[in-house]
Chains A and B, each alone.
Chain A
Amino acid sequence: MNWVGLQMLRNDRAKFAAMIVAVSMAVFLMQNQAAILATMLSMTAAQIREVEDADLWVTEPDVECFDQVKAMRDIQLMRVRGVPGIAWAAPLLKIDAIGRSEGGRLNTVTVLGIDDVSLAGLPRRMRVGRADAIRELDTAIIDPGGHQLFFPGEPFRPGRSLRIRDRRIRIVGISDVAAPFTGLPMLHTSRSTAAALNLGEQHMTSFILARSAPGTPPEQVCQRIQALGGLRARTTEQFAADAMWFYGSQGVPMLFMVTITIGLIVGAAITGQTFLMFIKENARPLSMLKVVGTTDRQLGIMILLQGTVVLALGSCFGSGIAAAVCNLVRTQPFLRSLYLPWQIALGTCLALASVTGVALYASFRHVRGLEPASVFR
């Protein structure tokens, strides 16, 4: 009888197509919005997570995310280095400055000054060039978004330069770091170069990157650092989580959740309504099936199968469209970090299935309540 149910569904092409389109669009909308939200939140922590050589971040006590910069005195670095269980500690300087390309394009850039000696925090992945080329004074590597902004339409290649605070910074490579939440171009340079761009400031350390000694839990080292007083120490994941929470509590996620919820409700409503209509319009054939001895259980399984087919096809199409759009969009350098986690794909499909399940149940109740004798009328 399941086959009969599928044939009935296939035969009503208009409703079958309408339901698949509704599910597809709902799944696409939900996945797209959820992917953007997930990407935005992950971007708030991307610069933290990408520093793979350190597992501890030490900041001023009230710093909550990577974009909050409060300069630290150099003595703090010495204090951290003296904590038992620290393998090494290195400074990281972060400043924002106005950059200008040779063609006259202006934009604020984020400059990360990496410790000249250890190069802790150097990008691990490069598109063009070598990251350690920044050891040379007044050189930097730029992220793909920054390159596109300052040198639009030009292929990725080193050799161009930016003027920042009256210094000419030569681009020696293009990194492959994740796009930052701020959307600003990211320049990685040596701390010496960054300090030269930061003249007039007294302190040249924004963060202290550190590594716990082998065999010492990083959380334990964090406690020891905080026990010194005047510092806040977190593991990489703790700091990333703090950053995501900081931005996540600003209200933007709520806007995305509203859109996702609308997608869920509209998709489920259209699908459920159309499915219920499909069942109601087939009341007579279904009554006939009951008359010839089809049980409610058989009809229930038939309806479940019909609903599953609609949801499965719609979810596949919707997920496919969402993935295709995601892949298309991420070819843009500034949107390169957009991603669609499988958890979102699965979660949205399950959410829609749950809500649409109510309509399937209502359809089943309708069929169960059909009076078979009505087929004689």
Chain B
Amino acid sequence: MSATDSTAVRCTGIRKHFGEDEARVEVLRGVDYTVRRGELSFLVGPSGCGKTTLISVIAGLLATDAGQVHLFGRDLAGMPNDERILFRRTHLGFVFQQYNLLQALTAAENAAIPLLAAGVRRREAVDRATALLERLGLSGKTGSFPRQLSGGQQQRVALARALVHEPRLIICDEPTAALDHATGEAVMELLASAAVHPDRAVIVVTHDNRVFHFADVIAQMDDGRIVGVDPRRRSGPVPETVSPTPPSPLSA
């Protein structure tokens, strides 16, 4: 496999600012960041260092001032908006800090949203989401509404929503921040076991150093730059039900 083929995300020279004149803030100052297929990459750093902006840029939600973002060889900035939305809908999954579940929908319906957005019929979408939730250990909760679920259960539903359409890149924003340690650990175990796949990359933005042992790579950000990359072999417990994660090219 060539270096290009194994690359899931390649950011080069990304610059991004917000505000103008005196309010102008340079949030990203020439970020170079690479994530390989099969890799669980942690993006860490102090608040305000630009982590969220970077994942927004990677997801195609924010335009850059300069630099290039390639996802699986495709130049995101060069895509027309409609195509970029379609690409995001098809190839990207998201897990948010506050879960962002729709209170009006059941767990299965929430997990089915990416399929519904893609035009899959409701029954089929919910069936597929239900099957996935059962694999994630929420067998008895598929018909429950978010308010009836614990934080950990809600994050599992969010994880199912990120996985249900089998995306190639999953972006997680502080997935354990709203959870206690044990629940956060469980969610990360699930993420590591269910999301990591040889053809899929996972980016996790986190402050939570208790879960760093799940990472294949830890990229340290500060002041709008990647200031260090720490390749490591994942040391966290891997459930038996999960296929082994391939070693990260960076950690090999």
Contacts and interface: CB of A to CB of B under 8 A. Distances in A.
**Do A and B interact with each other, yes or no?**
yes
B100 A284 contact: yes
A11 B103 CA distance: 7
Nearest to A298: B117
Interface in A1-36: 1, 3-4, 7-8, 10-12
A4 B103 CA distance: 11
A373 B100 contact: no
A284, A295, A375, A376 interface centre (most CB from chain B within 10 Å): A376
Interface string A327-359: 000000000000000000000000000000000
Contacts of A7: 102, 104-105, 109
Interface stretch (A153-161, A192-200, A211-219, A286-294): A286-294
A250 B62 CA distance: 63
B56 A10 contact: no
Given A11-B103, A295-B82, A377-B52, A289 B59 contact: no
A292 B114 contact: yes
Contacts, number: 73
A82 interface: no
B165 to A, nearest CB: 9
B85 A293 contact: yes
Contacts of B105: 4, 7
Given A1-B117, A3-B122, A291 B103 contact: no
Sorting the interface of chain B by its residue count into under 10, 10 to 19, 20 to 34 or 35 or more gives 20 to 34
B72 interface: no
Interface string B59-72: 10110000000000
A292 B89 contact: yes
B161 A292 contact: yes
Contacts of B104: 4, 7-8, 10-12
A8 B59 contact: no
Interface in A275-312: 284-285, 288-289, 291-295, 298
A289 B105 CA distance: 13
A375 B96 contact: yes
B231 to A, nearest CB: 26
A333 to B, nearest CB: 51
Nearest to B86: A293
Contact of A376 (B86, B90, B173): B173
A8 to B, nearest CB: 5
A221 B86 CA distance: 73
A372 interface: yes
Interface of A: 1, 3-4, 7-8, 10-12, 284-285, 288-289, 291-295, 298, 371-373, 375-377
9 contacts: A4-B105, A4-B116, A7-B104, A8-B104, A285-B100, A289-B113, A293-B88, A294-B89, A376-B52
Given A10-B104, A375-B96, A376-B97, 15 more contacts: A3-B122, A4-B109, A7-B102, A7-B105, A7-B109, A11-B102, A12-B104, A285-B100, A289-B117, A292-B161, A293-B114, A294-B89, A372-B61, A373-B56, A376-B52
Which 5 A-B residue pairs are closest in the complex by CB-CB distance?
Answer: A293-B89, A11-B104, A373-B56, A373-B61, A7-B104
